[in-house]
Amino acid sequence: RRPKKRTKIIEMMDELQKENVYIKDKERVEKLLCQLIQDGKSKLQIITDFDMTLSRFSINGKRCATCHNVLEDSTLVPESKKQILDELRDTYYPIEINAKMTIEEKIPFMMEWWTKAQSAIVACNFRREDLTRAVRESNAMLREGCDWQFHALHEHSVPMLIFSAGIGDILEEIIKQHSQMYANMRVVSNYMDFNHDGMLVGFKGDLVHTYNKNEGALRNSDYFTTLKERRNIILMGDSMGDLRMADGVPNMQQILKIGFLNDNIEERLEKYKEAYDIVLVSDSTMDVPNAILKKIL
Ligand code: C5P
Ligand code: MG
């Protein structure tokens, strides 16, 4: 006699059968899905990264802008500054996605990248009202299905924490232009500091970069405490640093980690399959998370 199928939910979901979907431990994911569905929406919260997780990595083979790129590529930045920012990206982005270096080895480089880029951006004399135009003229966009997801989470009162090493003001503007900022969303990110004349003078608060989200998570323990009954988490990210966004969640019961692998794919796939429960390779949609949400909500 054949053993009873232990991956029934996974097999029932067409979205999980696609070739770009990797699930290393199907039994674990099956159990997680089963529990998340059983506990339902009142026990659920979402913790997600922004750049290249909610936002799209590329369109027609061309990279889409990150929050930083929205400013860096804007016509308001003089050529001399553009060159500096491009050089920074060429130097540090390969380190960010390097498959061989450890997170600890990467951290000092990320600090350098963010700090240098922030001072170059501040030196461009941006004004608060420039942001709308910069976002409109950029090719930053959300993954297909984000709009449905935001609306559904709001309808069902499921809290969503957007935890981003990008720029808070820019990501809010991207969401506003392509969907809507809802009351159930909370953003933790690097926010710009404008003076009373509306001129950008710096960034507020503690710096969030790709690999210190664990520290940021602990600083936001108040938020997590208010949600302590919501013990099931769906975490979405595109970087190994995003896995620690839920550090500091008290009495967490289940965490389903969904990882988008967009770049340097062959070198990183094994590590991603180890670290994330579900890995979505070169996926420009929210189809998988949304299919799971449809079962829970
Ligand atoms: O929202 P998330 O945490 O993904 O935001 C960080 C992303 O912004 C990084 O993945 C990094 O590649 C990108 N970045 C950038 N330009 C900078 C600094 C970071 O495009 N100056
Ligand atoms: Mg990201």
Both tokens assigned to 92 = 């540090």
Is the separation of the CB atoms in 126 and 294 below 8 Å?
Answer: no
Can you state the percent helix, strand and coil of the chain, rounding each to 5? 45, 20, 35
Q: Is the pLDDT of residue 217 over 90?
A: no
**What is the pTM (predicted TM-score) of this model?**
0.97
Is 49 noted as a catalytic residue in this protein? yes
pLDDT at residue 1, as a whole number: 65
Q: Is the pLDDT of residue 238 over 70?
A: yes
Evaluate whether ipTM surpasses 0.90. yes
**Tokens 């609306």 sit at which residue?**
151
Distance (angstroms) between ligand 1 centre and the Cα of 256 equals 23
pLDDT at residue 261, as a whole number: 98
Q: Is the pLDDT of residue 180 over 70?
A: yes
Q: Which ligand lies nearest the alpha carbon of 260?
A: 2
Q: pLDDT-based confidence at 44, cuts 50/70/90? A: very high
237 Cα nearest atom in ligand 1: 4
d(CA 278, CA 237) in angstroms, rounded, equals 11
d(CA 276, CA 241) in angstroms, rounded, equals 12
What residue's CA is closest to ligand 1, atom 18?
114
